Structure 1
């Protein structure tokens, strides 16, 4: 067996960040990592193959004629990225994703993973990157059915049954939080960085349940700061609680009988979402987002017929 058969390179390349992992295919163990801020915004389309080769080229040395394969997920496959990969209509399996990978021009044995989409009269949505994490979460949990929460700038909730993703919903929670905090009157006291405050976050979770809805709950940050003793340094935590609480409460309404949620994200976001999920009577199984990405790309690579 050559080095190219024993290892693969998994890359999550988004708008703001580049993350590469050298992975042992048999065990799924991450052997080395490379991280940078060279996201899509910082590169032209012609620069992608050269940047990628510079970052991971050393990992391919000694692989012989069959170079270590590279699998790339995320916004790298969008129109703004290296080359556009399709977004497949649901339902989608890991086998479907593997069958539609796109060769990355300018680099040998490098493949860009397709995204997924929903296009119905009542629901239109798109996803790039999180689909790999969702399938990776299934693999790590040794199940074929789950409700996955993937928090972030644009949080995703994905429903998988029988090893196929059958539906998902995007909530632009992270982006809205940034916009409210830095560009609205209620967020004005939270312009400066401050430590997370659990009590203020929990107040936000409660406010998210107000019958007047999210738009009112967000303004309560202003009202509470003026007249209910919410200090400036806690306004950010309150707003975070309102938005994450609103997102989770909406999903509870959509999935009234759901029990366990696979929570796939960073340590920081997972802690906040766990608090909100448990407040809405979900049980939570946490999965690190990097681990999910590696497991998902390994699962796809095993199914990819070159």
Structure 2
């Protein structure tokens, strides 16, 4: 077994690769690019991957572990998603050989198919297991902000349930393609006061569909500036997300996994809603999770 491994998080819009010491989990080198799934055809994936990490491979002796949308039907090769509940050992057992590149493995991802809930996940399951390992915990609630935010519940070393929330995508649609968001389109700066107004509006008894329209009416008659509208819309959406998920899970502590400016917004919203936050970077969570899967894979 090689003393090193290559961990890759490959999503729709970006590629992140890390050369990792297997024993310590230390990142020895890294490489990032904007070559997400949309930038490549299916035939190009093995060639692109090798071009990015070939110098680390030692003639193929160093294994490659890939997570994220790279394992979807739109990616390199579809790795069938496993049903929850599932453990890290289950993910390791479901690793799929990546066609066209030796000693390369794709993580399968997870799915929920029930009468009351149908959902899918690729990549966040690795980060959730990795974050719990870094915390030396076996149970907890994780929030992974993004275009499609994930809320992940783990119990007894198994991922038992999760929910996807389209907050990021809806924010972009409302801000750039609706009347309430129109005054904010040319204003990129974030306004914290507007965000906090949006959090309060998220509690409106008429729900988020009315609260979002208040970006328009408050701009006209209640002093909400054009510069604050983007923050207000974000506050309504993130506030509604946090309130609904806190009500569902009732966990007082949330592990927030990410490395973008979204983390600070979710921290504000979670603390506003009465929760406490433990932050772990998405890079650290990914490395921890893929190292754990690789070690389990090597034991098989």
1:220-235 aligned within 5 A: 220-235=214-229
> Is 189-198 or 226-235 further displaced after alignment?
189-198
2:9 aligned residue: 12
2: CA distance between counterparts of 1:193 and 1:71? 40
Deviations 1:50-81 (A, max 9, x none): 00000000111xx36x6100000000000010
Q: 2:196 aligns with which of 175, 193, 202?
A: 202
Does residue 43 (structure 1) correspond to residue 40 (structure 2)? The answer is yes
The SS at the match of 1:12 is strand
The SS at the match of 2:227 is helix
- Provide the TM-score with structure 2 as the length reference: 0.98
Alpha-carbon offset, residue 267 of structure 1? 3.8
2:98 aligned residue: 104
Q: Note the residue ranges of structure 1 that are not aligned, 5 or more in a row.
A: none
1:274-293 aligned within 5 A: 274-293=267-286
1:186 aligned residue: 180
Alpha-carbon offset, residue 92 of structure 1? 0.5
Q: 2:30 aligns with which of 29, 33, 36?
A: 33
Deviations 1:38-61 (A, max 9, x none): 11101000000000000000111x
2: CA distance between counterparts of 1:189 and 1:32? 44
Deviations 1:276-306 (A, max 9, x none): 0001111100010111001000011010046
Alpha-carbon offset, residue 194 of structure 1? 2.5
Does residue 154 (structure 1) correspond to residue 148 (structure 2)? The answer is yes
2:21 aligned residue: 24
1:121-136 aligned within 5 A: 121-136=115-130
Deviations 1:167-208 (A, max 9, x none): 000100000000111110011011123321111110000000
Alpha-carbon offset, residue 255 of structure 1? 2.0
Deviations 1:208-233 (A, max 9, x none): 00010010011010111111111111
2: CA distance between counterparts of 1:100 and 1:109? 15
The SS at the match of 1:52 is helix
1:273 aligned residue: 266
Aligned residues: 299
Alpha-carbon offset, residue 93 of structure 1? 0.3
- Provide the TM-score with structure 1 as the length reference: 0.96
Alpha-carbon offset, residue 252 of structure 1? 1.6
8 Å CA contact 1:194, 1:234 repeated in 2: no
The SS at the match of 1:304 is helix
2: CA distance between counterparts of 1:67 and 1:106? 15
The SS at the match of 1:35 is strand
The SS at the match of 2:270 is helix
8 Å CA contact 1:8, 1:24 repeated in 2: yes
Q: Note the residue ranges of structure 2 that are not aligned, 5 or more in a row.
A: none
Does residue 298 (structure 1) correspond to residue 291 (structure 2)? The answer is yes
Q: CA RMSD in A?
A: 1.0
